[in-house]
Structure 1
Amino acid sequence: MGNQSAAANWPPPRRGFTKSLFSVWQPVASVYMYNSETDSWTERAPMPTKRGALAVAELGGKLFAIGGYDGTGNSSAVEVYDPATNSWSTKAPLPTARDHLAAATVGTRIYAIGGRLNQDYAHNLAVTESYDSVAGRWTRVADLPTPRSGIAAAVVREVIYVFGGEAPEGTFQITEAYSPGTDRWRTMIPMPTGRHGLASVVVNDRVYVISGGPRPGGSFTNVNEMFVPPSTKTGAREKTRASPKQVGTIMALLAAFGDGGALPAESSPEANRLIKALIQFQAAFMKSTSPAVQRLLTEALTEHLGERAQAAADSFRADGWNSQTLEAVVTYVAMHSVWDQPGLAEGLQAYNIGRNDFELLAQTFLTARATLGARGQDFHTVYASRRRDMPGAGPTGP
């Protein structure tokens, strides 16, 4: 695997706690930033709430610090760090306070998974809760099949994989996968080495599961094992993380749909399909090499926007949807027999979407636009107002 080299030393050792006299673990609020270009660490604004054994997830260029143990009990705190301003804000608290949980982001939602009560792995939890960043609230979703804590989670192609953990009987080799679109779990091939307190990271659709403890409690290993999800194929399309602007446009559209009373019931299959459609059609129009997919976008923008079409296409491929481009595509598809075009279905299938997904998206947009219009409001104006409050908003507008 090539040579390895050491990076800058981590600041004073900690995992959310420091050790005090009589071996009592005390939570800390410290935050450090690693700069890979200078190979150095910098201290940043501390968390408002001291805690350890928490989970952290990124959404829209911000870090969500979720749950943990504050020294006296479990914390339900959800605090959000903005690297751009080096500041913290507070969001809706975690309904089930816990520590040693995992967190993962899919689309505009964060999932808080498993964990335990008051640092006691004899009281492991299966609870899985979803934070809707548009609505600003948590909901309960399908439980983790195996209650466990000290776990790691990673996302590959909108599926959350949960690894390892510990219980009084030992450590877990179990790997379980959650699909938000169906709200279902399934069991995958187990890890070769069961462990807890491990880390996971995704590189090119492979999950590297690193280190951890092979026995419950204080134990250590330097094991590094790679998991290849079953949907990963050699030569498959490359997937990269969406930028804050791309996330922000989707969040703003969902918020505008909500203002127009068109959002499906929260956490329903239709709501999950709608979010998937927004994300995956955006990805397809931005990245697909299918001539049919790119022709659909180009012709829709040309017919609807005229001489502004090229600028709109360039903006879309950099930043994703806005209300004008969504309207252009929805209007074009309604007026033309696009689904008969050779290669279109295949090009979209590479992104796990199709005609039914688009029709749900189109109907949601049309309903919201009509409802807002009946109130004397313009959908694009509502979208622009919402966009200013979402990640990636800048002085150039949505």
Structure 2
Amino acid sequence: MPAMLLFLRCLSPVLQPSAYIINSFLVSLVLGGLVPSVQAAPALADPAKNPVLTQTSRSAKTASPHIGSAMAVLATLQDAGVLPPEGTPEANHIIRFVIQFQSVFTKSDDPAVQEFARQALAHRYGDQAADIVGNLRTTGWTADILERLSDEEARQSSESLHTLAQGFAPFNLSVEEFHRFMQLVRDARQAFRTRGLEFQHIFSSRRKEMPGAESS
């Protein structure tokens, strides 16, 4: 059993994200240099004594909370049933842009990106929107941010959205990929509503299972 998956299962008895999402996410982190490569741990290993699990846990916490928040997004989308089949190029693509768009909104100083985020939050939070955008750099993705961004993306015209292209380009992302991401969030919200659930509640539950939950 992969070390990251075993580590997550030890955190909570609640159903965890699929092995594919955990493995693919960990590969993305390793390739990006965010955590060192780890080997599989024995299935019956004691997480308190196993050095591989300890290393994985510490590595994840080092890059937290952004790792945990992106993992929570993927787990929430999976719970909603809106992700494509596991192992497909599109599934890998989604994992990549969930990670990369978080980097855009937590690291980019592009004026159009910052203004888009501020406008998205201003509809609910008014003058406090700028402070919340600033806090995003610390927390990473939150359910509220994702919901507000997805609403704003749906409100704006394609011409307005293309002003974001310059801010996305340094992260090898496109406006079309942003639309795809935001549509997944909207689809997940709708899927949960039809089951009498709320996106925010599911995300919050998932976030507590992931690395860095105590600092988000």
Normalising by structure 2, we get a TM-score of 0.70
Distance, in Å, in 2 between the alignment partners of 1:281 and 1:342 is 15
Identity of aligned residues (%): 31
Is 1:276 matched with 2:96? yes
Q: Deviations over 1:83-116 (max 9, x none)?
A: xxxxxx5689xxxxxxxxxxxxxxxxxxxxxxxx
Q: Deviation digits for residues 130-177 of structure 1, max 9, x if unmatched?
A: xxx931358999xxxxxxxxxxxx73589xxxxxxxxxxxxxxxxxxx
1:358 and 1:304, CA in 2 relative to 1: closer, same or farther beyond 3 A?
farther
Q: Which has the larger radius of gyration?
A: 1
Q: CA deviation at 1:338?
A: 5.8
- Matches of residues 1-398 of structure 1 in structure 2 within 5 Å? 78-79=2-3, 134-137=17-20, 155-156=31-32, 243-337=63-157, 339-340=159-160, 343-394=163-214, 398=216
SS in 1 for 2:105: helix
Is the CA contact (8 Å cut-off) linking 1:339 and 1:355 kept in structure 2?
no
Mapped contact 2:77–2:185 kept (Cα < 8 A): yes
Structure with bigger strand share is 1
Partner amino acid, structure 2, of 1:135: S
Provide the C-alpha distance between the structure 2 equivalents of 1:388 and 1:139, rounded to a whole number of angstroms.
16
Q: How many residues align?
A: 178
Paired with 1:341 and 1:360, the residues of 2 have a C-alpha distance of 13
Provide the rounded CA distance (Å) in 1 between the counterparts of 2:188 and 2:110.
Answer: 31
8 Å CA contact 1:285, 1:317 repeated in 2: yes
Judged with a 3 Å threshold, the aligned counterparts in structure 2 of structure 1 residues 138 and 277 are, in CA distance, closer, same or farther, namely closer
Gaps of 5+ in 1: 1-76, 81-88, 93-132, 142-153, 159-241
Root-mean-square deviation (CA), in Å?
A: 3.1
Q: Higher helix fraction: Structure 1 or Structure 2? A: 2
What SS does the corresponding residue of 1:244 show, helix, strand or coil?
coil
TM-score where L is the length of structure 1: 0.40
Aligned position for 1:110: none
Q: Which one has more relative contact order, counting CA pairs under 8 Å at least 6 apart?
A: 2
Name the CA shift for 1:350/1:377 in 2 (closer, same or farther; >3 Å): same
Quote the Cα distance in structure 2 between the aligned partners of 1:138 and 1:319: 21
**Cα pair 1:249 1:322 within 8 Å, conserved:** yes
Give a deviation string over 1:253-307, Cα, whole Å, max 9, x none. Answer: 1111111111111121221221122111111111123211221112112124335
CA distance in 2, matches of 1:138, 1:290: 30
Flag the 1:78–1:264 CA change in 2: closer, same or farther, 3 A: closer
Task: List alignment gaps of at least 5 residues for structure 2.
Answer: 10-15, 25-29, 35-61
Q: Is the 8 A contact 1:302 1:309 kept in 2?
A: yes
Q: CA deviation at 1:326?
A: 0.7
